[in-house]
Amino acid sequence: MRILSNQAAGMLLGLLGVTIFGATLPMTHIALEGFSPLYITFARAAIAATAAGAALAILRRPFPRAHLPALVGVGLGAVFGFPIFSSIAMQTIPASHGGVVLGLLPLLTSIFAALVDGERPGPLFWLCGIAGSLLIVAFSLRESAFHLGPGDFWLMLAALSASFSYVLSGKLARVMPGWEVIGWALALCAPLTFTGTILFAGSGIHGPGAAEYTALLYLGLMSMFGGFIFWNAGLALGGIARVAQIQLFQTFVTLAVSALLLGEAIGPETLGFALAVAFVVWLGRKARIVRAIPAGSRA
C-alpha cells in the first residue's frame, strides 16, 4: 500500500534537500574567513567528488555514456557556476541578504523547466510562482535593507547556474538514481577540481581554524553531494517545476541558520512571510502541470 503519492514524496524529498542547501550561504560566509572564493569552489568540489567517487566505485555503477552532455551541463552549473558566483557574492553581502535574493530560484527553475524539459504549467502555477517571488522581494525590502550592488549581480549569476543545473539533474534523475546524477557530474569535473585545489592551496588558504574547516566540509559533503541526493530524487518524483517551489522555503532556512551561526538579526515579521510563502507553495501544488510530448514520440 502506497503511503505517499509521487507528488507528495517528491515535495518531501525536495524539502529535505532545500533544508540542507539553506545552510550553504552561511557556511560559505564562515569558510571565507579562512579560504579564498576560488579555493572554496575547487576544494568543496574535490571533497564531494571523493565521496561520490567512492560510492560509485563501491557500488560498481556503470558510466552512463549516453547522458554525457547533460552531466557536463550539471557539472558546469552545480559544481563550478553556483559555488564560485555565490562565494564571490558572500564577500560583500550578509548571508541572510543572499538567502533572500536566492528566493527567486523557484521561478527561474520553473522557467528553465518550461524551456528545457517541456513542462507546461497552467496559469494558476505561474500566478503562484510570481506571487511567491514577489513575497520574497517584499520581504527583502522590509527586513534586509535591500540595496542592489555587485554582490546581488553575482548571486543572480549563481541563481541562473543553479536553476539550469537543477532542471538537467531532474531530467536525468528520471532515468538514473538522483545520487548518481550529481555523483557522475562530480566525477567528470574531478580532474579540474583537484587540479584547482592544488593550484590555489598556496594563495587560497588563510589560517583557517576548526570552524572554517567544518564549514568547508559541510559545503563539500552536504551542499554539493548530500543535498542533491534528496533534491534530484524529489525533482524526478514530483516534477521539476512543482518541486522547485519548495525552494521558496530556502530563504527562511538560510535566515534561521544565519541567525544561529552568524548572529545576523532576523525581524519579527519573518514568520508571517514564511506562512504566506507556505500558503503559496500549497496552492501551487494544486495547479495543473503537463509535459509537452516531443515530436515523433508516442503518447
Cβ-based neighbour number of residue 39 at 10 Å:
25
Q: pLDDT digit string (tens) for 20-45? A: 998 998 999 999 999 999 999 999 99
Please, which residues have CB within 8 angstroms of residue 197's CB and are 6 or more apart in sequence? 39, 42, 43, 46
Look at residue 299 in the predicted model and tell me its pLDDT: 35
Look at residue 297 in the predicted model and tell me its pLDDT: 41
More confident site: 254 or 59 = 59
Closest to 165 measured CA to CA, from 88, 104, 93, 105: 105
| Nine-digit cell string for 104 | 527567486
SS (H, E, C) 111-131: HHHHHHCCEEECHHHHHHHHH
pTM over 0.75: yes
Look at residue 172 in the predicted model and tell me its pLDDT: 92
Contact between 28 and 40 under an 8 Å Cβ cutoff? The reply is: yes
The percent of residues above 90 in pLDDT, for the chain, comes to 40
Paired with 35 in beta bridges are 205
What confidence tier does 187 reach under pLDDT thresholds 50, 70, 90?
very high
The amino acid occupying position 267 is G
pLDDT, mean over the chain = 82
Predicted confidence (pLDDT) at residue 5 exceeds the cutoff of 50 = yes
Predicted confidence (pLDDT) at residue 59 exceeds the cutoff of 70 = yes
Predicted confidence (pLDDT) at residue 127 exceeds the cutoff of 50 = yes
Contact between 106 and 285 under an 8 Å Cβ cutoff? The reply is: no
